[in-house]
């Protein structure tokens, strides 16, 4: 090696003292040049999947780090965000799995899935009434709103009982005001009505 010669490149390694020129103390003898292995960057992929929308990907996280370093990523915050948007956790395939305590060549670019589904809410006039215009998911500023159809769960009808067969003693018609109610189930994510029960009499007012 000549005096003040630059450090030679070695594939897969970096010089321990990059940029430092080497001047042999004794040009007639070998001079040790220390190198260290290049530590590659690792990456894992966490997909948040909507199983009720053909496994559409809701969000993706791609933590990166040097091989051998600890993976500190957790799914807690993203799951909480999605729950606020009306989703329900089905399976956390990242947290429930093993082999991702640190970045390694074995888990490099490995894809984990966190499965979510749509939550539902059921409205009825007795147990869970609602008002049109209010958010279905109070903790989500972009939540779908309750609609008039969502609260179409109560109506009044008149029923008339007509008596016959007693001649002059036959009672007059009896008019009843009947309140019918039902329950309506709504998708928290889309705001769409999923189902409704049959109308049932809630109370009868006799006149």
- CATH number, domain at 48? 3.10.20.470
pLDDT tens, N- to C-terminus, the chain (207 residues): 445 556 666 665 666 676 666 666 777 677 677 777 667 899 999 999 999 999 999 999 999 999 999 999 999 999 999 999 999 999 999 999 877 899 998 999 999 999 999 999 999 999 999 999 999 999 999 999 999 999 999 998 887 777 776 667 677 777 788 899 999 999 999 999 999 999 998 765 555
| 118: phi then psi, degrees, rounded to nearest 5 | -80, 130
Q: Name the domain boundary from 83, 118, 153.
A: 118
Nearest to 123 by CA among 52, 196, 190: 196
CB atoms within 10 A of CB 37: 10
In a shared domain, residues 130 and 113: no
Q: Name the domain boundary from 73, 102, 118.
A: 118
pLDDT of residue 34: 75
Domain that holds residue 59: 41-118
Does residue 128 belong to any structural domain of this protein? yes
pLDDT of residue 58: 98
In a shared domain, residues 202 and 137: yes
Rounded to 5°, angle at Cα 195 from 192 and 197: 145
Does residue 13 belong to any structural domain of this protein? no
What is the number of domains present in the chain? Answer: 2
In a shared domain, residues 60 and 81: yes
Evaluate if pTM is beyond 0.85.
no
Give me the residue label for tokens 């933590």: 63
Nearest to 152 by CA among 120, 122, 193, 184: 184
* Buried b / exposed e along 13-28 (16+ C-beta atoms within 10 A): eebeeeeeebeeeeee
């Amino acid at each position: 090696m000549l005096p003040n010669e630059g450090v030679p490149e070695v594939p897969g390694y970096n010089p321990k003292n990059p940029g430092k020129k080497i001047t042999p103390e004794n040009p007639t003898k070998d001079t040790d040049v220390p190198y260290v292995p290049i530590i590659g960057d690792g990456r894992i992929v966490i997909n948040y999947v909507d199983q009720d929308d053909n496994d559409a990907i809701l969000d993706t996280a791609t933590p990166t780090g040097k091989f051998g370093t600890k993976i500190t990523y957790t799914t807690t915050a993203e799951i909480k965000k999605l729950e606020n948007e009306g989703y329900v956790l089905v399976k956390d395939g990242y947290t429930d799995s093993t082999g991702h305590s640190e970045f390694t060549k074995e888990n490099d670019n490995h894809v984990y899935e966190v499965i979510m589904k749509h939550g539902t809410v059921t409205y009825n006039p007795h147990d869970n009434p609602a008002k049109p215009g209010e958010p279905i998911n109070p903790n989500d500023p972009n939540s779908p709103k309750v609609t008039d159809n969502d609260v179409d769960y109560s109506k009044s009808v008149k029923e008339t009982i007509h008596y016959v067969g007693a001649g002059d003693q036959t009672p007059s018609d009896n008019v009843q005001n009947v309140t019918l109610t039902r329950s309506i189930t709504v998708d928290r994510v889309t705001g769409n009505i999923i189902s409704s029960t049959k109308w049932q009499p809630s109370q009868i007012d006799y006149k």
